[in-house]
Structure formats: C-alpha cells, structure tokens
C-alpha cells in the first residue's frame, strides 16, 4: 500500500484506533514535515506578494490577500502534488479542483481572521496576514491530506 493510504481493514477500525495507528506511522510525520516546508515557501511567497500589493502598490488589504492567495495557491499545488503527497500519477485536473476547494475554504477562514485582526483589533496589516495564514493552515492540511491527495 502506498504511504498514507489505509487498507479496507484499517478503515473498519474505530476512529480513535485509526488515529492512534496514524500517529505511529512514520511516513505520516514525514509527509507532515514536507507539507510544512511547502507551506513555509507558500507562506513567504504570500507575505511578499501581500506586502508589495499593500505597501508598494497601495491595493486594499483584502484584495492584496486574494492576490497573494492565488500566487501561493499555484506554488503550493505543484509542490504538494509532486513532492508532499507524491500524487503525480493521479488526474491533475481532478486534484487541482479539490485543492482549490480546500484552499478556498481555508482562505475564507484566513479572510475572517485577517479582517478581525485588522478591523476589530487594530493589528498592522502584514502581521495580521501572517497570523491569519497560520490560523488557516491546519484546516488546509487536513483537507488536502484526507480529500485532495488521498
């Protein structure tokens, strides 16, 4: 069985047993590390694009967040597909559609946190974006691990 894929016997086990088995499976931890490295590259790319748009081009912070999201999305899809989840043999269009759905849901959470931090708390825009992206990362990983590249 390829790394990260469960057999039908394992899927019949209670959820808490599957979680415990998953936590003991070293390839899952290596995959999480790869996801983190890809995410870190997307995170840096996101913040660079966001900063240039907000401060260099004077674009509204929500529009800037959207532009930064799109650039990071393309970067992260390619790296996650080919390196993190090694899913290059799957249908790229199908995976891309799922990746975009998961990423849009995570981006919705990102925008909610960003808006709250900037408009309600008064945090500076770039640190707020840095925190908002971090807040959405766990949902993004789980969605991609369990649905996009399963």
Residue 122 lies in a domain: yes
Task: Tell me, yes or no, if the pTM score tops 0.85.
Answer: no
Residue 25 lies in a domain: yes
C-alpha 105/C-alpha 60 separation (Å) is: 21
Confidence tier at 23 by pLDDT (50, 70, 90): low
* Contact criterion met (CB below 8 Å) for 116 and 90: no
Where on the phi/psi map is residue 13: left (φ > 0), alpha (ψ -120 to 50), or beta?
beta
Residue 73 lies in a domain: yes
Q: What residues contact residue 142 under an 8 Å CB cut-off, 6+ apart?
A: none
In sign, the C-alpha dihedral spanning 138, 141, 142, 147 is positive
> For the ranges 18-22, 62-66, 78-82, 115-119, which has the lowest average pLDDT?
18-22
Burial per residue of 98-115, b for 16 or more beta-carbon CB atoms within 10 angstroms, e otherwise: bbeebbeebbebbbebbe
Residue 107 lies in a domain: yes
User: Residue 27's pLDDT is what?
Assistant: 76
In the chain, % of residues over pLDDT 90 = 49
Average pLDDT for 82-90 = 81
Domain extent at residue 85: 8-148
Beta strands in the chain (DSSP E): none
Residue 87 lies in a domain: yes
Residue 3 lies in a domain: no
pLDDT for residue 26 is more than 90: no
Confidence tier at 14 by pLDDT (50, 70, 90): confident
User: Residue 143's pLDDT is what?
Assistant: 87
Confidence tier at 68 by pLDDT (50, 70, 90): very high
Number of domains in the chain: 1
Residue 80 lies in a domain: yes
Residue 1 lies in a domain: no
pLDDT for residue 19 is more than 90: no
pLDDT for residue 29 is more than 50: yes
User: Residue 1's pLDDT is what?
Assistant: 47
């Amino acid at each position: 069985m390829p790394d990260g894929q469960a057999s039908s016997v394992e899927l019949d086990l209670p959820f808490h047993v599957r979680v415990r088995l998953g936590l003991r499976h070293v390839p899952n931890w290596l995959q999480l590390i790869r996801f983190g490295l890809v995410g870190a590259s997307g995170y840096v790319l996101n913040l660079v694009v966001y900063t240039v748009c907000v401060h260099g081009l004077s674009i509204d912070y929500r529009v800037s967040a959207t532009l930064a999201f799109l650039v990071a999305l393309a970067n992260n899809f390619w790296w996650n597909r080919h390196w993190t989840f090694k899913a290059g043999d799957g249908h790229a269009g199908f995976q891309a559609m799922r990746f975009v759905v998961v990423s849009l849901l995570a981006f919705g959470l990102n925008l909610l946190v960003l808006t709250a931090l900037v408009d309600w708390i008064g945090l500076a825009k770039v640190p707020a974006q840095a925190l908002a992206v971090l807040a959405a990362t766990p949902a993004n990983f789980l969605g991609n691990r369990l649905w996009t590249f399963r």
